[in-house]
Structure 1
Amino acid sequence: MSLFRRRKTEAPAIDDDAARVRLLDAAVSVLGRDAGAPLGTVARRAQVDDETARRLFPTRHALVEATVVRGATRIAGAAFLDDGEPREQIAMLIGRVWQDQAPVLPLTRLGARGPYRRSVERALAPLRATLREAIALAAERGDVRADISPAAVSWLVEQAVIDVIEAADAQALAGADPLQLAMTQALCAAGIGWGDATDVAIAARARLADVDSRRD
């Protein structure tokens, strides 16, 4: 019999608020790569014991919903329209969201099409209002379709972007540039011809790249 027993290593105690933040941060990292990962995997990544994790998020559904809603709320709060003509404003808005979500597409897809969609849509309300504003301006100029309301056009744009998210997550784009494709498809859904949409998307992509280079 050994005179010494190996003591079980335990994570230092943290309060519930800190544990919740750690679990949500870990969920982005884990579920952003594997949308089907279990709650226990997220808890281990967060260094939060299973008992605390299950007390804060009794089900995996609760954790995923809280994660995608937190992300949607953050994105919506940061939404704005860049300078420029409305079509480019639409492309830039879509491009910024795409850049933000590109590293975690499996999680984004869950929020866009999964059982959390209604909660995510409510959280995205400010972003959707900003998109409708740009579409309404473009419609007044005759740059996008005006046969249906800006709200309806905005919905079509949103669905087009979600389609690209699904295709990119499934690795079905055959070498296409997902960022540019998302912007192009969004503009096409708004009623812009493919050629013009591509030109606007290329210009918007160049602007985004310039902003990124200045940050570096």
Structure 2
Amino acid sequence: MTTALRTARPARKDALENREAILAAAGVVFRADPEASLDAVATQAGLSRRSIYGHFASRDELLAELLVRGGARISAALAGVHDPDPRIHLALVGAALWTEVQQVRVLAQLAIHGPLEKTVADALAPVRASVRHAVAGGIAAGFFRADVPEPSLARLIEDAAIAVLDEAVRSELSEAEGRRLVMAVGLSVAGLSWQDAAAVIDALPADPPQRPTNDKDPR
């Protein structure tokens, strides 16, 4: 019995490691090409296609787990984001998204109509709720533009933030530059001048949380 247990444990460990390798590879592959095949994921992971099916019954099942994990990380990053000043709140949302930039990029790339549309929507729900909260408060206080309906403005800010996250990574901006750009654009879309947006950002704490450096991490 003891011998059997000892031989089973390494196999279980290898299986878990392979599953993590598949998810990490999927994050890289699907971020670059949302229509990529499981063969591409297998190649990236250094595993066979058969190994993929040993963990995931279909491509959609693999994507769903990747999205759920990404959504959980984004939710965790946003959990402590709150400020009574809606301008600061919105800036902090941008900073939180920057800490999970790779997860947001994968979700944005896969935000397409189809069987995973609801999974993507659920994963991004915490972002949308936090942005809408800030927008409602900002409009009511006269900080944000009132010429655009509240739901539309919130969605425009969200879309702009995701586009800037993608551009910031592609341009290989530094941590400080990327974080600042995401916050500045969100505030500008909300209606602040670039000078007022800069003043809000400059008033934030100097030591924000840093995003992970390993962009293959699928958690």
What is the TM-score normalised by the length of structure 1?
A: 0.70
Q: Which has the higher contact order (CA 8 A, sep 6+)?
A: 2
Instruction: Give 1:108's match in structure 2, choosing from 100, 104, 115.
Output: 104
2:12 partner letter: I
Shift of 1:201: 2.2
Task: Specify the alignment match of 2:207 in structure 1.
Answer: 209
The one-letter amino acid of 2:21's match is A
Shift of 1:167: 1.2
C-alpha displacement of 1:109: 2.4
* Superposed displacement of residue 91, structure 1: 0.2
Q: 2:139–2:145: 8 Å Cα contact kept in structure 1?
A: yes
CA distance in 2, matches of 1:211, 1:163: 21
Paired position in structure 2 for 1:6? none
Q: Distance in 1 between matches of 2:208 and 2:75?
A: 23
Paired with 2:24 and 2:128, the residues of 1 have a C-alpha distance of: 26
Q: What is the Cα deviation at residue 139 of structure 1?
A: 0.9
CA contact 2:144–2:192 (8 Å) conserved in 1:
yes
1:97-154 per-residue CA deviation (whole Å, 9 max, x = no partner) reads 21222xx3xx532321334565322222133112211111111110001223332111
Q: Which residue of 2 aligns with 1:14?
A: 12
Equivalent residue, structure 2, for 1:54: 53
Q: Distance in 2 between matches of 1:67 and 1:150?
A: 31
Q: 1:67 Cα shift?
A: 0.9
1:159 matched to which residue of 2?
159
Match of 1:73 in 2: 72
TM-score relative to the length of structure 2: 0.69
Return the alpha-carbon distance in structure 1 between the equivalents of residues 62 and 191 of structure 2: 38
**Do the aligned partners of 2:131 and 2:158 also contact (CA within 8 Å) in 1?**
no
Q: Which runs of 5+ in 2 are unaligned?
A: 1-7, 211-219
Moved more, 182-191 or 55-64: 55-64
> Which structure has the greater CA radius of gyration?
1
Matches within 5 A, 1:183-202: 183-202=183-202
Higher mean displacement: 67-76 or 165-174? 165-174
1:41 Cα deviation from its structure 2 partner? 4.4
CA contact (8 A) 1:94 1:182 kept: yes
**Superposed displacement of residue 159, structure 1:** 1.0
State the one-letter code of the partner of 2:105: R
Identity, in percent, stands at 30
**Pairs within 5 Å for 1:37-186:** 38-41=40-43, 43-44=45-46, 51-79=50-78, 80-101=80-101, 104=102, 108-114=104-110, 115=112, 118-171=118-171, 177-186=177-186
Instruction: Give the count of matched residue pairs.
Output: 190
Alignment-derived partner of residue 5 in structure 1: none
Deviates more, 1:168-177 or 1:117-126: 168-177
Amino acid of the structure 2 residue aligned with 1:40 = A
Q: Confirm or deny: 8 A CA contact 1:27 1:67 kept in the other structure.
A: no
User: What do residues 162-203 of structure 1 show as CA deviations (whole Å, max 9, x unaligned)?
Assistant: 111221232276998111000000111111111111221233
